[in-house]
Amino acid sequence: MNEVTGNEIIHQYLRHNKKFPHVLCAGCGHGIVLGSLIRSVHSLDIPKDDVVIVAGIGCSGRLAVYVDFNTIHTTHGRALTFATGIKMSNPKLKVICIMGDGDALSIGGNHLIHAARRNIGVTALILNNNIYGMTGGQSSPATPSGSTSMTAPFGQLEESFDTVSLGQGAGANYVARGTVFHVQKLERLMCEAITKPGFNMLEVLTPCHTQYGRKNKFKGPVDMYKWLKKTAVPVERYQEMKEEQRGDRIPIGVFTDKGNPGLEERYFGLKKELLAKQQAAEGK
Amino acid sequence: MARRKKKQEIFALGNEAVVEGALIAGCTFYGGYPITPSSEIMEIMASRLPAHEDGVFVQMEDEIASMGAVIGASLAGRKAMTATSGPGFSLMQEHLGYACMAEAPCVLVNVMRGGPSTGLPTSPAQGDVLQARWGTHGDHPIIVLSAADVQECLEMTIKAFNMAEKYRTPVILLIDEITAHTREKIELPNPGDYEIHSRVVPSMPPEWYKPYEETVRGVPPMPPIGSGYRFHVTGLTHDRNGYPTSRPDEVDELMQRMHRKIDQFFYDIQLTEETTCDDADVVVVAYGSVARSAEFAVQQARESGVKAGLLKLQTLFPYPRRAMEKLLAHARTLVVPEMNMGQISREVKRVNMGRASVRTINRVDGQIITPSEILKVIMQG
C-alpha cells in the first residue's frame, strides 16, 4: 500500500460535512491511531453502517466525530457502559471504544474491569499518552512514577498502572499493546482486536508532547517517537530477556488471546434455548 | 355492542406492576444494579426478559453503568429502562443529563426511600422530588411522573415509556417504598387498551437526515444505530448535525428547542386527577402513597360537611400549573402533605402566588402520613 492510496482510503472514511481543523496538536499520536483504525476497518471490509465508535472524554474522545461511522461521544470514563448496551441490543454491530488512559484507567477503571470480566464483545482501544492532555497536563494513572505533571510539579510519587496486567487480571479475552511508532504492527493488532470474539483490549502508546513531553525533558515530538522506538520490544523477545536487560523497556504485541465467546453470544444462545423450551411446552 | 373481554386480574406488588407496565409498553432492555426497595423490578426483569422474544437483561457494575447501558440500548433502537432508589439515583444523575442532551428516550424508576445518603433503606420517603427535577447539572427539561397505587404503577410506567418515546427524553417515575411494596389486586389491560407510542424514525434518505434538526414538534426523528443513518451523538452542545459547537446562535437554538419540546405539549404531559374538587374550599394537593391517605381524609371531611377536594398529581414536573390555577378560583386553603420537608409545596406556593393559604404537612420519620393527620388540617380550614 503506497502513501497516496492510504490517504485516499482515509478520505473515504472522513466526514465531509464536519468542520475541520481537528483539535489535535501537531505531533500528536492520536491521528495515527485513527488512521490505523480506518485502514483496519477498510482492510477487514466491514460496512460503515456496522461500525459503532464509542468514545469517552478527552483528546481521544474527540476522534469519533471525524469519522463517517455511527459515532457516539459519551461521558468521561463511561464509554464501555454505552458500548455494553449497544452490543447487547444489536450484536451484529462492531462496537469499538476509544478511550484515553485517564478515561479508561481512572474514572472508568470500574467499567473497564467489569467489561473485561463480563467478556462483552467490544473492542477497547486505550490511547495511553501518560497524561490528562485536554485539561492541561495533570497526572493520570498512567503517568510514570518520578515524572512531572501539572499536579505533580515535584515528581509523581504514585506508581502507574500496567494496563496489560490489569486487563489480564480482569479476565479480558484478548490483551495487546502497540505503539504509534510501530504502525504496521499496530494495524495487525487492531485487526485482531476488532475481529476476535469477546472483550478485546488494545493499549496504544501515543505521545503527548504538548502536555507530557515538554515537562519531561523531551525536546520535541520527534524525540518522543524516538523514545517509543527505543523502548518498545516485541513481547516474544522481552520474555527471553534477562531481568537486568529489561530495565524500562516496554513489551508490545499480543499478551492474551483466549478466543472465548462474548457475553452477547452466550446471552442470545440462552434465549434461543429458553424460547425453544417454551415452544415445546406450548406444543404439549 | 361488542362484548368486552374480561380483564385478567392479578395480585401484585407495585414493583411487579412496573414490570408488567414496562413490558406492555414494549420495553426490551433492562440494565440495572440491585438496590432496596427497587430490587424486585430487576429480579422480575431478569427472569422475564431472557425468555421474551426480543428482551435483553444485563446486570451492570453500578448505577452509572446501568444508565449508560440503558442509553446505549436506546440509541440502538430499544425501549430501555432501569430502576433504582435514592443512592443509585444520585449516581444516575450524570447520565440522566446525557440522555437529556442526546435526546435518548428512556425510563428511570426511582423507588424513593428515606435519605440523605444511605438513609432508611426499607422505609418510604418522598425526598427525591426536586432531585428528579434538578439533580443533573445544567438547564435541562425533564418529565417526572408519580404513582399512588399498584394499578397506577402499571399505568404510569406505560405512560412514562410513551412520553419518553414521543418527546425523545428521559422520563423519571417516582414511586415510594409503600407503593412499591404494597401487594394488591390489579387489572391487566387487554391488548389495545392503551395507546403505545414508539419514536418516530426518519423516512428521508440518509444523506438528507439531520439528527438534531429543528422541527415543528421540536422532536427530531431518531433512527436506531446501524440502520444506515450514520450520525454523531454527543453530550457536548451540538448543532443540527450533532457536531460539537459553541456558536451562540446554534447553542441557543438547541437549548430553546429542548425546552420547547416539553413545554408546548403540557396538555399531554401534565397529568392530574381531581376528586370532589369542583366546589372545594379546601384542596389537598398530594402525590404518591400520600394521595391515598389524602383521598380518605377528603372523603371523611365531606361526610362532616367540609367542602374538601383532592388534586392528585400524576405528573410532578413540568408542574401541572393549569390544573391548580382552575382550583384557585374557589379554593381558600391548599393542604400539601408530603413525606419530606416541603418539596412540591414550593411549586404549589409558586403557582398560588399568595391567593389561597397553603398548609403543609411534613413527615420525615420513615412513616406514612395517615388520613387522620390530613383530616385534622383540613378541618382547621
Nearest to B347 by CA among B374, B319, B366, B306: B319
A64-122 pLDDT, tens digit each:
999 999 999 999 999 999 999 999 999 999 999 999 999 999 999 999 999 999 999 99
Pick A110's closest partner by Cβ from B62, B69, B80: B62
Beta bridge partners of A84: none
Among 3.30.70.360, 3.40.50.150, 3.40.50.970, 3.40.190.10, what is the CATH number of B8-188?
A: 3.40.50.970
User: For B215-228, what is each residue's pLDDT tens digit?
Assistant: 899 999 999 999 99
ipTM of the prediction greater than 0.90, yes or no: yes
pLDDT score of B265: 96
Q: How confident is the model at residue B3 (pLDDT cuts 50, 70, 90)?
A: low
Reported as a single tens digit per residue, the pLDDT across B306-319 is 999 999 999 999 99
Contact between chains at A90 and B65 (C-beta distance less than 8 A): no
Architecture of the domain delimited by B272-380: 3-Layer(aba) Sandwich (3.40)
pLDDT digits (tens, 9 = 90+) for B66-89: 999 999 999 999 999 999 999 999
Provide the pLDDT confidence category of residue B4 given band limits of 50, 70 and 90: low
pLDDT at B2 over 60: no
User: Mean per-residue pLDDT for B141-148?
Assistant: 97
Give the integer Cα–Cα distance in Å for B334 and B351.
Answer: 11
B272-380 matches B8-188 in CATH topology = yes
What is the rounded CA–CA span in Å between residue B79 and residue B86?
23
| Confidence band for B185, pLDDT divided at 50, 70 and 90 | very high
Distance CA A210, CA A107 (A): 22
CB A269 within 8 A of CB A205: no
Q: Write down the pLDDT at residue A58.
A: 95
Residue numbers in B near A64 (CB within 8 A) = 232
Nearest CA in chain A to B96: A75
- Residue B121 makes CB contacts below 8 A (sequence gap 6+) with B36, B37, B85, B113, B114
Cα-based angle A9, A73, B218 (whole degrees, multiple of 5): 110
Summarize pLDDT for B264-323 with one digit per residue, the tens.
Answer: 999 999 999 999 999 999 999 999 999 999 999 999 999 999 999 999 999 999 999 999
Distance of CA B357 to the CA centre of its chain: 28
Look at residue B272 and give its three-state secondary structure: strand
Residue B60 scores a pLDDT above 60 = yes
Second-level CATH architecture of A3-283 = 3-Layer(aba) Sandwich (3.40)
pLDDT along chain A (284 residues), means of 10: 68 86 93 96 97 97 95 97 98 98 97 98 98 96 96 96 97 98 97 97 97 94 96 96 92 97 97 95 84
Chain A residues in contact with B78 (beta carbon < 8 A): 89
Contacts of B205 in chain A (CB under 8 A): none
Q: Domain boundaries in chain A?
A: 3-283
Residues paired with residue B110 on neighbouring β-strands, in sequence order: B84, B174
- Which of A12, A53, A59, A90 to probe by mutation at the B interface, max B CB count within 10 Å? A90
3-state SS assignment for residue A243: helix
Closest alpha carbon within chain B to A53: B232
Mean pLDDT across B192-204: 95
Per-residue model confidence (pLDDT) at position A284: 72
B74 vs chain A: nearest CA distance in angstroms? Answer: 8
Q: What grid cell was written down for B109?
A: 424508576
- Those of residues 37-56 in A touching chain B at CB distance below 8 A are 48-50, 52, 54
pTM of the model: 0.97
pLDDT above 90 covers a percentage of chain B that reads 97
Best residue of B57, B234, B247 to probe chain A, by most A CBs closer than 10 Å: B234
Alpha-helix runs per DSSP H in A90-129: 101, 109-118
pLDDT of residue A5: 67
Nearest CA in chain B to A50: B226
Partner residue opposite A111 with nearest CB, options B61, B76, B94: B61
pLDDT tens profile B319-349: 999 999 999 999 999 999 999 999 999 999 9
Predicted local confidence at residue A16, as pLDDT: 85
pLDDT tops 80 at residue B1: no
Question: Cα angle vertex A31, ends A25, A34, to 5°?
Answer: 150
Whether pLDDT at B205 is above 50: yes
Task: Determine the pLDDT at residue A283.
Answer: 82
Strand order through the sheet with B282-286 = B272-275, B308-313, B282-286, B333-338, B357-362
Rounded CA-CA distance A135/B68 in Å is 23
